[in-house]
A and B are shown apart, each in its own frame.
Chain A
Amino acid sequence: MSFSVTIPAANIVSANAALQAAGWGPNNFSVPLWTNGALPSIAVLTHIGNDPGFRAACVALPGAVVRDFGFLAPSLPATAIAVSGRWGSNAPLLQGQVTPGLYRAVPADGRGLWMVIQAFNRAVFANPLADIPALVRKAKEPGAVEPWVQPLDQFDAYFTVNAFTGQPDRVTHNGRLWRSIVANVANVWPPGNAGIWADEGPAP
């Protein structure tokens, strides 16, 4: 039978390492789910086949919740509903009346994922999304390289060790690609600050 497994996003690096060490390959948890913040709070894996050994290995992971489904049943939507979360591909477009949760910006707003903090009508609050931080925050997609947006606090900051990928966050800014290098603190400074960001050359 198919199954899904959810773990706290903070556990993803250790969970993937444990599964890999047990012979199940790298990066089994690869899908981020957002619940109520700019950073994904839950990591998910979905398995559509019958693999009792792998399922048992997942059950043993700290914080893991295993949900069973029928063969080939689409388990990710049901899992997202069960944890009151959304993932990037099923986030609705950020237009019209919106309520708290993850949304995709329309092309005119530059696409990307945004977390709505409180209900509002986009037709009424038509400012650029970055200008209405009390209503909506830029969501951080693990591993994605996107234009830098000024973080307000640690909840939408950049990190030198991303909790989801275990790798440094990268952004584009002023035509350059930047990698976060500041240690042990949430990175809320703009690229260009020495010791905070490393310049990796022209933006792709």
Chain B
Amino acid sequence: MTRPAPSPFDGFRLLGRRGGAPSLSAQVQAALLGTPDFVLDMSDRLTMWLESTKVTQVSVAADPVGALRTKWNNAPFDLGQGTAASRPAWNGVNAIAGDNVDKMMAPPASLLQNVPVFFWSEVVKPASLAADNPIISFSDGVSATAPRFRLMVLATGAVQFSAARLDGEATSTLTTAAGLVAAGVQSVVSAQADYAGGGDYRIWVDGVLRANGTMAGVAGNTSNTPSLRQWFMSSLLSGGARTEFNGLVGRAVGAFTIPDATKRALFEAWVAETAL
């Protein structure tokens, strides 16, 4: 094979890459460098497989997603779904889809074990608000329905965030005004819980702070126990009922540090970089 002759523009191309603004992806990767993080990128098909055993990567729209791997920086986590009928479907571009019946994926149970803070930002587009649309949910280590961190869009279009630090402690819940999220419309939903600090927890919707407060309980890391239930796109509610996201969920950034306003805006811009 013969290498093509160098183009006289090659040097400019290289200079252009060096001198141009880094992509949003590069900026997010750099912002997370050196910190534990949890990044999902459904626009990168190489992070998704048809099977939970990660044999064949997804390739076309409507492929079921049996495994979803986090990217960048740290040792990756896998979100898995071993049951074929419960696998979300890739939209072929930048999101996976749920149907409010049973589609969900399971992150590692130890992810929110003994952590001082957790931040989550994700772009979502519910197909319907007929029922609650859970985004991510980690229970505590004793009760499958007591949330350590649970973020969901309610049927009213409000966003609800529930958090608790220690197993058995009372759950604290924030709920925004209704109507902030609409069916068929893309929204960026972010939340953070400062377990070990002052207990501050808050919700942003599309970059605007919509609710904040102080968690109950004594400051400190979350309990050093694995979650009994940890679900992406699904949640167990008090009483034992389960509900699943109905619609598209796209890129997400999770962090175990509290991002400052600049970083948070960067993360929110990245998750919403391409329209769902």
Residue of B with least CB distance to A50: B62
Which of A24, A50, A75 lies in contact with B83, CB distance below 8 A? Answer: A24
A29 to B83, CA, bound (A): 10
Q: How many A residues, CB 8 Å from partner?
A: 27
**Which of A1, A25, A74, A144 lies in contact with B99, CB distance below 8 A?**
A74
Q: Interface readout for A15-55 with B: 1 if CB under 8 Å, 0 if not?
A: 00001000011111111000000000000011111110010
A102 at the interface (CB under 8 A from B): no
Question: CA A41 – CA B112 in complex, angstroms?
Answer: 40
Cβ of B205 to closest chain A Cβ, rounded Å: 24
B99 and A50 form a contact (CB under 8 A): no
Q: A25-B52, A89-B131, A144-B240 are in contact. Are A48 and B84 (CB under 8 A)?
A: no
* A26 and B83 within 8 A (CB): yes
Distance (Å) between the CB of A37 and the closest chain B CB? Answer: 22
Contact A72 B89 (CB under 8 A): yes
User: When each residue 59-86 of chain A gets 1 if its CB lies under 8 Å from chain B and 0 otherwise, what string results?
Assistant: 0000000000001101110000000000
Tally chain B residues at the interface, Cβ within 8 Å: 32
Whose C-beta in chain B lies nearest to the C-beta of A44? B101
> Which A residue's beta carbon lies closest to that of B58?
A49
Who on chain A is nearest to B83 by CB?
Answer: A25
Q: A54 CA to B64 CA in the complex, in Å?
A: 10
Asked if A49 and B102 sit within 8 Å, CB to CB, the answer is no
For residue B243, which residue of chain A has the nearest CB? A89
* Contacts A72-B89, A72-B99, A144-B240; A49 near B83 (Cβ below 8 A): no
A residues in contact with B150, CB < 8 Å = none
Q: Does B82 contact A (CB under 8 A)?
A: yes
Point out the residue from A48, A54, A71, A145 that lies within 8 Å of B88, measured CB to CB.
Answer: A48
B85 within 8 A of A: yes
Given contacts A49-B89, A49-B90, contact A71 B62 (CB under 8 A): yes
Q: Is B97 an interface residue (CB 8 A)?
A: yes
Tell me the complex Cα distance, A31–B103, Å: 12
Asked if A71 meets B61 with Cβ closer than 8 Å, knowing A25-B52, A31-B102, A48-B97, the reply is yes
Separation of A30 and B99 alpha carbons in the complex (Å): 14
Determine the distance from Cα of A150 to Cα of B127 in the docked complex, in whole angstroms. Answer: 41
Q: Which residues of B contact A74 (CB under 8 A)?
A: 99-100, 127-128, 246
| Minimum CB distance partner of B66 in chain A | A25
Main secondary structure of the interface of B (DSSP, over half): loop
Note all chain B residues with C-beta closer than 8 A to A26: 82-83
Given contacts A25-B52, A72-B127, contact A49 B99 (CB under 8 A): no
Q: Mark B218-247, 1 if CB is under 8 A from A, else 0.
A: 000000000000000000000010010010
| Chain B residue, CB-CB nearest to A144 | B240
- How distant is the Cα of A45 from the Cα of B99 in the complex, in angstroms? 12
Residues of A within 8 Å of B91, CB to CB, are 72
**What is the bound-complex CA distance between A144 and B236, given in angstroms?**
13
- Cα A181 to Cα B239 in complex, Å, equals 24
Flag if A47 contacts B63 (CB, 8 Å): no
B86 near A: Cβ within 8 Å? Answer: yes
Q: From residue 31 to 72 of chain B, which have CB atoms closer than 8 A to chain A?
A: 50, 52, 60-65
Q: Write out the residue numbers on chain B whose beta carbons fall within 8 Å of the beta carbon of A54.
A: 64, 84-85
Q: Name 10 interchain pairs, CB-CB below 8 A, sorted by A.
A: A26-B82, A31-B102, A47-B64, A47-B85, A48-B89, A48-B103, A49-B87, A51-B87, A75-B99, A76-B99
Given contacts A27-B83, A48-B62, A74-B100, list 16 more A-B pairs with CB under 8 A: A24-B83, A25-B82, A25-B83, A25-B84, A28-B84, A28-B86, A30-B85, A47-B64, A49-B62, A49-B65, A50-B62, A50-B63, A51-B50, A71-B89, A72-B89, A75-B99
Q: Which residues of B contact A (CB under 8 A)?
A: 50, 52, 60-65, 81-91, 97-103, 127-128, 131, 240, 243, 246
| Top 4 A-B residue pairs of the complex, sorted by shortest distance between their CB atoms | A49-B89, A25-B83, A49-B64, A50-B62
> Which positions in A face B, CB cutoff 8 Å?
1-2, 19, 24-31, 45-51, 54, 71-72, 74-76, 89, 144-145
